[in-house]
Each structure stands twice: as structure tokens, then as C-alpha cells.
Amino acid sequence: MEVLTAAAQLALRAPSAFNTQPWRWLVRTSSLELHADRDRHLGAVDPEDRLITMSCGAALHHARIALAAAGHDVHICRWPEPGQPDLLARIWLAGPHRPSAGEVDLAHAITTRRTDRRAFADTPVPADLVARLRAAAETEGVHLHVVRERELPVLARAATRAASVQLADPEYRSTLIRWTNRPRWSGDGVPPANAVRPAPRRVPVRELSIDPHAGVAAGSGQDRATVYTILFGDCDDRGSWLRAGEALSAVLLTAAAHGLAAAPMTDVVEVPASREALRQMLSGSGHPYAGVRVGVPPLRAADQPATPRRPASAAIDHEKG
């Protein structure tokens, strides 16, 4: 049980939309269960459960990596109980496992990864690292499209349109205010120290504050060397979104393990029109799940603080018996 608890604790570091941390873990005698936490659902921002499912998928992948690095093979059943739609996965230990160097590196990256919303350095990302990111997504059954130079205007317009539609929606603005003005003791949300003030970018970044003067400076760069990618797959349902979250975690941890900065871009899929624009960019061959921007960290990257996290006692339950 201690091994499963330790994996759940590491999984609490997973990224989530607006840092809502919309999961609950139940540690049983011989299994670990992942449940969606409906109290942390983003409501009108996420009417189809796309974001909450992807966020939980990222947590599931974190737990998988933690167990593999600790020397445990696992068996996973996704949606093990048809009558419990918010029970997303059950994990059992399935024997010893010799962790690879890559698994150990990814597990270490869980503790060091940050979502960096600032402009990245102008140093190009090596092609072999981009290939590693694509392979990380493919391992999870999800494709990673690297946005070409000629496609960047499509992505930029999708981000701009998403921002325009969402900021005009009172319910979105209410959600934004709620999750960027959390009390310090809550251990969630995106505080001003993790927001970035508006600045010229090749592709706009979601503004996380109604006040344009709040947050840290974006930096001197304009993401000229940033690599923009799109996670996509063949289907657009809850099963695909859970896998997409696992792939998102794999890409972000792989980037961190190789010294790259990265940040998810879910705003471009939250608005149907923007999501459809990305689908057309993919030649209609797949459904986009999320964008990820990747680059060489800006100067003084260590100044980027970690977003807050709830204590384990608030998100992990133990079976009584």
C-alpha cells in the first residue's frame, strides 16, 4: 500500500487546466483508483468533460511512471466499472520491473517540471529532441504534429479567436477570476506569480488575469525559435481524451528530462471553431486534443515558481478495513 500511496503522491504534481487538480486517488490494499473530482470541474468552460478527462489522464501517466521507476510492473484497466463514469482507471501491481534509464529520468522530471508561460529563448530546439517528443506521444497511442512555419498563422488565429470568444463570455470570465484568485491555503489555481503579462508573441498565450498589469514579464523573446506541436488522434471521445492526457504528460516529462521548457495550450481546443481550424490544419485526418509549445528555457528559468499543490490528504483517500 505504501508503494501505491507514493505513486499517488507523485501524481499530484501532474498538470491540469487552470491548475484545478481535478482528481481523487483511492488507495486500496492491492490497487490504486483514479477518480475525476466533479467539485473541480470547470463547468461551462468544459461542457464535454474534455479538460477534466485529459487532466486526469496526465495524472494517470505520472502514477504509471512513478511505479515503473520504483521497480513495479502494473496492470491498468481504464473505466473498470461501466456504472461509475468518474472512476477512470484502476491500477494493480503485476510483479517486479527493471526500470529503464528513460523511466528513471521521467520520474525525476515529475519533481522538476514547470509550466513556463514566458517566451522561450531564441536557440533552436535540436531535431533529435523533437523526434523524442513525437515518440513519447506515439508510445501512448497519440500522434504529435509539429506545426510548420506556413501553418503558424492558422495556430495564431485559432488562439486569438479562442481568447476573443472566451473573454466575451461572462461564465468564462467568472471561471478565470475564480481560479486565478485563490486563497493561499487552497493549494490550487494559477497565482499571479505564474501568470505572464501580455506581450507580442508569434502565437498568443492565454491571458490568465483580467488585469493586464498582473503577472511576470514575458521576457525579451517572442518565441521565434519555439516549436509548436498539436496532439491529435483518430477519435474524439472520453477514451481518447484520457489517452491524450497520458500522452501530454509523456511529452511534457520528456521535454523536462532533456532540459527543455514546455507549456500545454488547451485554449485552442476549448472553442469549437478554433478546434475545427486545427483539425483542418491536420487535413481533417485527426482530432486535435491540445497544443504544446516547447523551447529552450529563457534566461533565469529557475525563477519560474511551481504552481501550488494541494496536500496529499486533500486528494488521496485510503480504503478502510
Tell me: the pLDDT tens digits for 115-171?
988 899 999 999 999 999 999 999 999 999 999 999 999 999 999 999 999 999 999
Q: Per-residue pLDDT for 210 more than 80? A: no
Tally the residues of the chain. Answer: 321
**Predicted pLDDT of residue 208:** 86
Q: Which residues in the chain are classed under CATH 3.40.109.10? A: 2-112, 127-303
Sheet holding 72-78, edge to edge: 72-78, 87-96, 31-36, 23-27, 316-318
Q: Per-residue pLDDT for 46 more than 60? A: yes
Note the pTM of the prediction, 2 decimals.
0.96
Q: Domain 2-112: which topology? A: NADH Oxidase (3.40.109)
**Predicted pLDDT of residue 274:** 97
What is the per-residue DSSP string for 188-206?
-S--GGG-B-----SS---
How large a percentage of the chain has pLDDT more than 90? 83
Residue 7 · residue 56 · CB < 8 Å = no
Q: Going by CATH, does the domain composed of 127-303 fall within 3.40.109.10?
A: yes
Residue 78 · residue 17 · CB < 8 Å = no
Mean pLDDT confidence for 255-273: 97
Alpha-carbon separation of residue 37 from 21, 23, 85, 142 (angstroms): 8, 5, 11, 25
Q: Per-residue pLDDT for 302 more than 60? A: no
Q: Per-residue pLDDT for 321 more than 70? A: no
**Which pLDDT band holds residue 197 (cuts at 50, 70, 90)?**
confident
